[in-house]
Amino acid sequence: MTAAPSDAAAQRAELVRVLLAVAMEDRDAFQRLYRLTSAKLYGICLRICGERQAAEDVLQDVYVQVWRRAGGYEPGRASPITWLATIARHRAIDWRRRQHATASLAEPGSAAEPVDPAPRAEAALLAEEERARIADCLEALEPRPRDAVRTAFYDGVTYAELAARDGTPLGTMKSLIRRALLRLRECLSDDA
C-alpha cells in the first residue's frame, strides 16, 4: 500500500509533463501520451460505444481533440488522466447521440454488443481517494436510483433510453435521477 500512492503521484507528474509538451505541439510527446493512455481511453470508448470500429474512430477523434486542446489543460485543476478520460467519455457519448439521431427507433438495450457486461467500476483499480468517494457515495444510495445512475454512466445513455429500458415514464426517471444526483452531491462535497 505504501508504494501505490507514490507510483500514482509519479505517473501523474509524468503525464502532466507529457501533456504540457503536447501543448507545445511536441509530436514525440504526443506519441508518448498515446502510448501511455490509449488503453485506458480505448477502454472507455469501447465500453460506451459498444463496438470496436466506432470505438476506434472515436478514440482517434479524442486524440485529435487532445492535440488541439492540450493548451487548455490546467494542471492545477484536474488530474491529467481525469481530463483525458472526460474528453473520451463525452466524445463516445456524442457518438451514441449521433447514432440515435440517425436511427431514431433504436431498440432499447441494442447499443451495447456487450464488450464488458460486468463493469468493474468499484473494483480496486486506482489508488485515488476520489474513486473511493464516488464509489462510497453511490453505495449509499437506494438500489433503484443507484442502478439508474450507474446505467446512465456506464452505458452513456439518455433519460429517454433509461426510461424505455426500465419501462418507467420519462418524468419519473428524470426526478428519480435528479434526486439521486443531488444526494450524491451532498455526499461528494462532504469534507471536500
Partner 1 sequence: MTPDDQALAAELALGVLDGAELAAARARLAADRAFAAEVARWEEWLAPLALAFPETSPPAGLEARVLAAIDVPGAAPRAGWRRRGALALAGLAAAVLALVVGPLRAPPPPPVPAPTRPAAAPLLAALVVPAGAEAPGRAPLAAAVDRPSGEVRIAAATVPRGRSAELWAIAEGGAPVALGLLDGGRPTRLVVAQAQRVLLRAGTTLAVSIEPPGGSPGAAPTGPVVAAGALSEG
What residues numbered 110-139 form the site for partner 1, per CB under 8 A? 116, 119-123, 125-126, 128, 130-131, 133-135
- The answer to whether 22 and 87 are in contact (CB under 8 A) is no
Q: How far is the CB of 186 from partner 1 (least distance, A)?
A: 10
Type of residue numbered 19: L
Distance (Å, whole) CA 46 – CA 56? 8
Q: Does 152 bind partner 1 (CB under 8 A)?
A: yes
Residue number with CB closer to partner 1 (25 or 142): 25
Burial class (CB in 10 A: 0-12, 13-18, 19+), 18: buried
Q: Does 30 bind partner 1 (CB under 8 A)?
A: yes
Stretch that binds partner 1, among 3-11, 102-110, 139-147, 149-157 (CB under 8 A): 149-157
Residue number with CB closer to partner 1 (7 or 28): 28
Distance (Å, whole) CA 122 – CA 143? 15
Q: Does 31 bind partner 1 (CB under 8 A)?
A: yes
Q: How far is the CB of 47 from partner 1 (least distance, A)?
A: 5
What residues numbered 64-103 form the site for partner 1, per CB under 8 A? 64, 67-68, 70-78, 81-82, 85-86, 88-90, 93, 97, 100
Q: Which single residue is written with the C-alpha cell 461528494?
A: 188
Find the angle CA(95)-CA(91)-CA(142) to the nearest 5 degrees.
90
